[in-house]
Amino acid sequence: MTEPHDHRGPPWGSGPPPWGGGSFGAGRRFRRGALAVLTVMVLLIAALSWLVASVVAGNAPHLWVFIVVTIVVLVGLAAVARWLWRYTRAVGGLMDAADRVAAGEYDTRIDLSTSGQLRRLGVAFNEMTERLETNERRRRELLADMAHELRTPLQVIRGSLEGLLDGLYDADPERLRTMLDETALMARLLDDLRTLSMAEEGVLPLHREQVDVRILAEDAMRSLEQAANDKTVTLALESPDPAPLDADPVRLAEVLQNLLSNAIRHTPPGGRVVVRVTTTSAGVRTEVRDTGPGIDAELLPHVFDRFVRSADTGGTGLGLAIAKRLVEAHGGTIEATQPSDGGTSIAFTVPV
């Protein structure tokens, strides 16, 4: 069994970025604040010039006016200097951090001890570097997973071809069929990886239209009916009412086929797989439940990770990962549970 990895999805729907609350309001507030500071500085310099000019001209104001103006000017200049020091230091630190990120140090974070707009800027920068670090980690993990998964079929094909060339094997249909199956496995693996990668990056196109999830479930069950009959597994659909939904029918059908094929694969002969489609306040809920042995407790939290599968399971190990990303691309949620009476239940809800 492949060791589970921590493959979390992109933070879609996690809310607007903290810098400006999803707009450019923070930038406008910063510009207004800088303009206000500049105005105050001009006024302070004008007051100081007036005071000096009055003294030089021999028209010095009353002592209390002189003291008040002097205190106001000194305090104002000190406040402006403090503001400039804070912002120049923060901007300097941000420039140094940006240079480190440009050099590939995606674990760079800046200090959040400041307040106001500086803190919002720091939070936005740290979230950006965190996403860059996550994407880089995913890229490395994906490359490692691909190398691991492609190694076995390539070794089988290479060994068979070397045996054929050396005369150790005959080019019989059975051996050629084995090689063809391995190439089909690699092609399916690459297609699944492409779909998963696009879904994780949020660039998978969705062609939404009005569909009935109940009809999609019927079509998916019909396409897998032969596989179920070969294992003498009964397929049943429980959907009392139509379940209209605005979704991509092709991608949603792919989710249903992944869940159904996975359920059939884990259901022993004579078992049963039930698909329940219901409409709730949260949207359309679709549950695929089987009467198999269930999922190991240690594996249950990782069933939607890439290349996670039990030792006796075929496939590419990407079906549930793709299903999760496609459901999330529709703005929905998916979960896997173990009912108290046995088996496995995987349900996803897509908002209407």
In the chain, what are the domain boundaries? 25-133, 149-200, 209-350
Q: How confident is the model at residue 19 (pLDDT cuts 50, 70, 90)?
A: very low
pLDDT of the residue at 310: 55
Is the pLDDT assigned to residue 332 strictly greater than 70? yes
Tell me what percent of the residues of the chain surpass a pLDDT of 70. Answer: 83
Q: How far apart are CA 128 and CA 140, in angstroms?
A: 19
Cβ density class 6-44: b for 16+ within 10 Å, e for less:
ebebbeeeeeeebbbeeeeebeeebeeeeeeeeeebeeb
For CA atoms 144, 148, 153, 156, the dihedral sign is: positive
Strand order in the sheet with 333-337: 234-238, 272-280, 283-290, 344-350, 333-337
In the chain, the amino acid numbered 62 is H
Segment 119-153, tens digit of pLDDT: 777 888 888 888 888 778 777 777 777 777 778 78
Residues in the chain: 352
Segment 256-268, tens digit of pLDDT: 998 999 899 889 9
> CATH says 209-350 is which class?
alpha beta
Alpha-carbon Rg for the chain, nearest whole angstrom, is 32
Q: Are 286 and 250 in contact (CB under 8 A)?
A: no
CA 73 to chain centre: 53
Q: How far apart are CA 115 and CA 130, in angstroms?
A: 21
Q: How far apart are CA 12 and CA 14, in angstroms?
A: 5
Segment 7-12 shows an average pLDDT of: 39
For residue 329, the 8-state DSSP code is H
pLDDT of the residue at 16: 40
Q: Are 325 and 341 in contact (CB under 8 A)?
A: no
Q: How confident is the model at residue 114 (pLDDT cuts 50, 70, 90)?
A: low
Q: Are 330 and 247 in contact (CB under 8 A)?
A: yes
